A and B are shown apart, each in its own frame.
Chain A
Amino acid sequence: MDETVKKYTTRKEFFKQYKKKSRLQETWNRFLRNKTAVLGLFIFVFIMVVAAAAPLIANYDDEAIKINVPARLKGPSAEHIFDTDEMGRDILARIVHGAQISLVVGFSAVALALFIGGAFGAIAGYYGGKTDEIIMRCMDVFLCLPDVLLALAIVAAFGTNLVNMTVAIGLSFTPKFSRVVRSAVMTVRGIEYVEAARAIGSTNAHIITNHVLINCFGPIVVQVTLYVASAILTISALSFIGLGIQAPIPEWGNMLASGRAYMRDHAYIVVAPGLAIFVTILSLNLLGDGLRDALDPRLK
């Protein structure tokens, strides 16, 4: 008891403990209490760090794409801890450089989907009525098609390269984001501060960007995390069937596809990219679920 009293020597410090914590701080605290979510975050941060540090781990030109036939399938060793693949390239080097590609394409595709889908969703949700009907029914048409199929059609039509692939996946995710943003906007648009902004004569564009979207942050962040996982899986799926990232660029899906013939004697050749896909997606899903619970405790 004595000690407690002793601790607060000034009024300022005494009141600090009763000060209302910021919403961000509260969310963060809630997130930290969810152990699986924190695990997801750690794994994901680890993957991001590995991807960023890929050039330190292995040289792209010399180890990830340079073919060295005499060194093929030699088995794990100190030099190649995850074995070499059917072309004599270091599997670890390909995995870490593949992480770069997967993450970059995954995030860019989702960013594109968020930008386009978000804009349509915000307009539809804010204005409602006929605008809403027209935009959302168009989105519904796209929603009928499975995203892999839609992405596949786009890639098949415009050819396979990194940019087309990103655009294809981005476009195939667009309707999903427009739905999420629309419903978030609809819950926010009737709230008093929006009314107030309108009352003082703010333009619609100003209200959408400065008052509405800012307050839809929570559901959007959750959706982004979950869809990055989905995008990474789609990239790998497309690459596996030969319509995604093309050889010799290392990508987890095309590594699986080209290595599968050797799977019985050289397990790492498929286990490594398989695990990479699995762990990345698991971490993003754990993270996304944790964020959802933290941002909106009512959903729990």
Chain B
Amino acid sequence: MKKHVVFISLFLVLIMMATMLGGCGGSSKKPDAGAKSAATAKNPPKIAEPTKTVDPKANLNADITIVQQLDMVSFDPIATSDLSNRYIITNIYSYLFAQDRYLNSTPELAKSYKRLNDSTWQFEIHKGVKTHDGKELTADDVVYSLQRTQKGTAIGALFKPVDKISKVDDYTIQITTFGPYPALPTALTHVSCGIVPKHYLEKAEASKDWSNPIGTGRYKFKSRIIGDSVVMERFDGYFNKDDKALNKSLTFKIIPEGSGRTIAVETKKADLNVVFDTVDYDRVVGNANLQLWQHPSQLVWHLGYDNTNPNFKNKLVRQAINFAVDRKALMEVGHNGHGTVVFNNATFAPTCLGAVNNPGNKYSYDPEKAKALMKQAGVSGFDTEIIVFRDEAERMAVLVQSYLKVIGINATVKRIENAVFAQTIQAHKAPMFITSWGCYWDPDMFLARRFTKAGIGGVNRVWYQNPELDVMIDKARTISFDDKPRAEVYGQIQNFLAEEAPEADLYVNNMYALANKDLKGVEINVEMPHNYYKLHY
């Protein structure tokens, strides 16, 4: 209190002088402290369930506007795994398998499939699939697209077990794998497995111009203004007449500011906000004109570090960092407490196959233990940098900075553009970083990509590799087509990685989507709102 007396008296002296002079009087603004009073939630968030029935009176010709935080990157499906990109371009292209809300596979182009033996799969595609420019899609297109996917880096380790992709007849393709690969259909849902018609793909590869994409998806591309918006219209020739788009067009607007997106929905400038900022939680649950939708998520926020960096080569330092950060406080600052804290080092969300929260009860928030580990490692401290590209992550980074200072690490926070994040990682210019990872239910879909050589240049952003781990990952893949024995191996892997501490997983945030209260068909999967084609009024 005493300190404020000094300030207030100085301030009063100033005001006195100002009034004495008779000039313009300074007036300070009143705060709106009462804004938080709407704690009584009039309409609490609803759980977003898959749309089963559509009201016959529903308006299926609405123009839907969706707001998101970051711009898309490219219409080239193999360009990036970025979420902001994925959920835009999957409306243009079709996939052999689409994703359900747990990111498991559900057939789209694939009419039927069978395993001929442990390592040979055969997929039959629908007949009469039309491309946006009126041609018919055949096995040639699918094979050509998937072979290109196989060569690209975005899919990385997901296609590592894939040996050959070949055509059997005009509507059948065959994929052979090195040994059993139970997760193959799920791998085929990856964004880079989007089927691009061969005639367009050849042209686009030659000219590197992806600005006017052609696909077989539910929407035709209409226009894009970089950094502002993407517009697409319903494609009436979509092959599955029973599962066509329930709206006339989709417009994606980019609004980087969290509250800006909320306001866009509040003022009916947009119908759905797919990246809801929890800052506005109290405000929107008190607003009867809005509906907040919720779904448990598998988006794991984590603090990563370059394991090849001399500072992080020592396992003890990496463990010290895991003890030094208070995950609960980070969740408070990052997502206003809307989530679940995880102690893990292998980006397992608590709902993944075989997930163990805090393997071996190894970690907790314990700065003293962290200091002791640093001492044991013989490291007194060093300077480093935390790379971030999102607001939440930037706030968390400031907090992490203060935790690291306690154990002698001086970190600066550096914000970069999301489009250059991958390059920054590849150039070893991200000694530390904070970002999120949307994981699949089946750990085989991400472990090899994130912690083996095959993922380097892709999403092995922590540059971790260990032959012991490779053996375990292969074992978990090939041990059986049943879940139980696989889950056991994944338990061992998590224990192993807890000891190795290649990264520090922090928490899983709740997944929200904010919509106009009349909007129907809002669906959310474990990493983001999805299936925008079902949105209608």
Contact yes or no, B333 A87, CB < 8 A: yes
Would A78 and B3 be within 8 Å (CB), given that A247-B398, A267-B31, A268-B31 are in contact? Answer: no
Contact yes or no, B28 A87, CB < 8 A: no
* B409-428 interface code vs A (CB 8 A; 1 in, 0 out): 00011110000000000000
Pick the residue among B6, B35, B257 that contacts A265 (CB under 8 A). B35
Contact yes or no, B14 A46, CB < 8 A: yes
Residues from chain A with Cβ under 8 Å of B33 in the complex: 75-76, 83
Give Cα A266–Cα B134 distance, bound, in whole angstroms. 54
Within 8 A of A (CB), among B295-347: 326, 329, 332-333
Pick the residue among A79, A247, A279 that contacts B26 (CB under 8 A). A279
Contact yes or no, B333 A247, CB < 8 A: no
Pick the residue among B3, B36, B395 that contacts A58 (CB under 8 A). B3
- A242 nearest in chain B by CB position: B415
Give Cα A291–Cα B332 distance, bound, in whole angstroms. 50
Contact yes or no, A271 B29, CB < 8 A: yes
Residues from chain B with Cβ under 8 Å of A35 in the complex: 21-23
Q: Does B24 contact A (CB under 8 A)?
A: yes
Within 8 A of B (CB), among A213-259: 242, 246-248, 258
Contact yes or no, B26 A53, CB < 8 A: no
Contact yes or no, B29 A275, CB < 8 A: yes
Q: Does B170 contact A (CB under 8 A)?
A: no
Q: Does B391 contact A (CB under 8 A)?
A: yes
Residues from chain A with Cβ under 8 Å of B3 in the complex: 56-58
Would A39 and B23 be within 8 Å (CB), given that A261-B257, A265-B279 are in contact? Answer: yes
Contact yes or no, B333 A86, CB < 8 A: yes
* Chain B: minimal CB distance from A216 (Å): 30
Give Cα A76–Cα B31 distance, bound, in whole angstroms. 8
Would A79 and B21 be within 8 Å (CB), given that A67-B398, A87-B333, A261-B279 are in contact? Answer: no
For chain B, which range describes its interface: under 10, 10 to 19, 20 to 34, or 35 or more residues?
35 or more
- B282 nearest in chain A by CB position: A265
Q: Does B283 contact A (CB under 8 A)?
A: yes
Pick the residue among A38, A72, A263, A267 that contacts B333 (CB under 8 A). A72
Would A261 and B22 be within 8 Å (CB), given that A43-B14, A50-B10, A56-B6 are in contact? Answer: no
Q: Does A262 contact B (CB under 8 A)?
A: yes
* Chain A: minimal CB distance from B255 (Å): 13
* Chain A: minimal CB distance from B414 (Å): 8
* Chain A: minimal CB distance from B391 (Å): 6
Contact yes or no, A248 B10, CB < 8 A: no
- A39 nearest in chain B by CB position: B23
> Among A42, A81, A271, which residue has the most Cβ atoms of chain B within 10 A?
A42
Q: Does A49 contact B (CB under 8 A)?
A: yes
Residues from chain A with Cβ under 8 Å of B415 in the complex: 242
Q: Does B465 contact A (CB under 8 A)?
A: no
Contact yes or no, A264 B21, CB < 8 A: no
* Chain A: minimal CB distance from B15 (Å): 10
Contact yes or no, B23 A36, CB < 8 A: yes
* Chain B: minimal CB distance from A269 (Å): 10
- B3 nearest in chain A by CB position: A57
Q: Does A163 contact B (CB under 8 A)?
A: no
Would A69 and B277 be within 8 Å (CB), given that A86-B395, A246-B413 are in contact? Answer: no
Q: Does A181 contact B (CB under 8 A)?
A: no
- B326 nearest in chain A by CB position: A69
Give Cα A262–Cα B391 distance, bound, in whole angstroms. 12
Give Cα A264–Cα B32 distance, bound, in whole angstroms. 9
- B262 nearest in chain A by CB position: A264
Contact yes or no, B283 A265, CB < 8 A: yes
* Chain A: minimal CB distance from B26 (Å): 7
Pick the residue among A58, A75, A81, A247 that contacts B401 (CB under 8 A). A247
Q: Does B258 contact A (CB under 8 A)?
A: yes
- B13 nearest in chain A by CB position: A46
Give Cα A75–Cα B22 distance, bound, in whole angstroms. 34
* Chain B: minimal CB distance from A59 (Å): 8
Within 8 A of B (CB), among A73-98: 75-76, 78-79, 81, 83, 86-87, 92, 96
Give Cα A92–Cα B333 distance, bound, in whole angstroms. 20
Q: Does A211 contact B (CB under 8 A)?
A: no
Q: Does B380 contact A (CB under 8 A)?
A: no
Residues from chain A with Cβ under 8 Å of B259 in the complex: 261, 263-264
Residues from chain A with Cβ under 8 Å of B414 in the complex: 242
Residues from chain B with Cβ under 8 Å of A78 in the complex: 1
Give Cα A46–Cα B17 distance, bound, in whole angstroms. 11
Q: Does B399 contact A (CB under 8 A)?
A: yes
Contact yes or no, A67 B399, CB < 8 A: yes
* Chain B: minimal CB distance from A262 (Å): 6
* Chain B: minimal CB distance from A289 (Å): 13
Residues from chain B with Cβ under 8 Å of A268 in the complex: 31
Residues from chain A with Cβ under 8 Å of B399 in the complex: 67, 69, 87
Q: Does A260 contact B (CB under 8 A)?
A: yes
Contact yes or no, A39 B28, CB < 8 A: no
Contact yes or no, A42 B18, CB < 8 A: yes
Residues from chain A with Cβ under 8 Å of B258 in the complex: 261
- A82 nearest in chain B by CB position: B31
Would A87 and B4 be within 8 Å (CB), given that A69-B332, A72-B333, A261-B277 are in contact? Answer: no
Q: Does B394 contact A (CB under 8 A)?
A: yes
Contact yes or no, A57 B7, CB < 8 A: yes
Residues from chain B with Cβ under 8 Å of A42 in the complex: 14, 17-18, 21
Q: Does B61 contact A (CB under 8 A)?
A: no
Would A92 and B21 be within 8 Å (CB), given that A42-B14, A86-B333, A275-B28 are in contact? Answer: no
Q: Does B488 contact A (CB under 8 A)?
A: no
Q: Does B118 contact A (CB under 8 A)?
A: no
Q: Does B402 contact A (CB under 8 A)?
A: yes
* A54-76 interface code vs B (CB 8 A; 1 in, 0 out): 00111000000111010010011
Residues from chain B with Cβ under 8 Å of A92 in the complex: 4, 7
Within 8 A of B (CB), among A187-228: none
* Chain B: minimal CB distance from A194 (Å): 40
* Chain A: minimal CB distance from B25 (Å): 10
- A59 nearest in chain B by CB position: B3
Contact yes or no, A57 B35, CB < 8 A: no
Q: Does B280 contact A (CB under 8 A)?
A: yes
Contact yes or no, B391 A50, CB < 8 A: no
* B380-403 interface code vs A (CB 8 A; 1 in, 0 out): 000000000001001101110110
Contact yes or no, A38 B21, CB < 8 A: yes
* Chain B: minimal CB distance from A114 (Å): 28
* Chain B: minimal CB distance from A138 (Å): 33
Contact yes or no, B395 A72, CB < 8 A: no
Contact yes or no, B391 A264, CB < 8 A: no
* Chain A: minimal CB distance from B336 (Å): 9
Within 8 A of B (CB), among A81-131: 81, 83, 86-87, 92, 96
- Beyond known contacts A65-B402, A67-B402, A246-B413: 12 more, CB 8 A cutoff: A38-B23, A43-B14, A46-B13, A46-B14, A53-B10, A66-B402, A86-B395, A87-B399, A247-B413, A260-B257, A263-B259, A275-B28
* 4 nearest A-B pairs in the assembled complex, by CB-CB distance: A69-B329, A39-B23, A46-B14, A247-B398
The contact sample of 29 A-B pairs, CB cut-off 8 A, is A36-B23, A39-B23, A39-B24, A42-B18, A42-B21, A43-B26, A46-B10, A46-B11, A46-B13, A53-B10, A56-B3, A57-B6, A65-B402, A67-B399, A67-B402, A69-B329, A86-B333, A87-B333, A242-B415, A260-B257, A261-B279, A264-B35, A264-B279, A264-B280, A264-B283, A265-B36, A267-B32, A275-B29, A279-B26
Instruction: Mark B residues whose CB is within 8 Å of A.
Output: 1, 3-4, 6-7, 10-11, 13-14, 17-18, 21-24, 26, 28-29, 31-33, 35-36, 257-259, 277, 279-280, 282-283, 326, 329, 332-333, 391, 394-395, 397-399, 401-402, 412-415
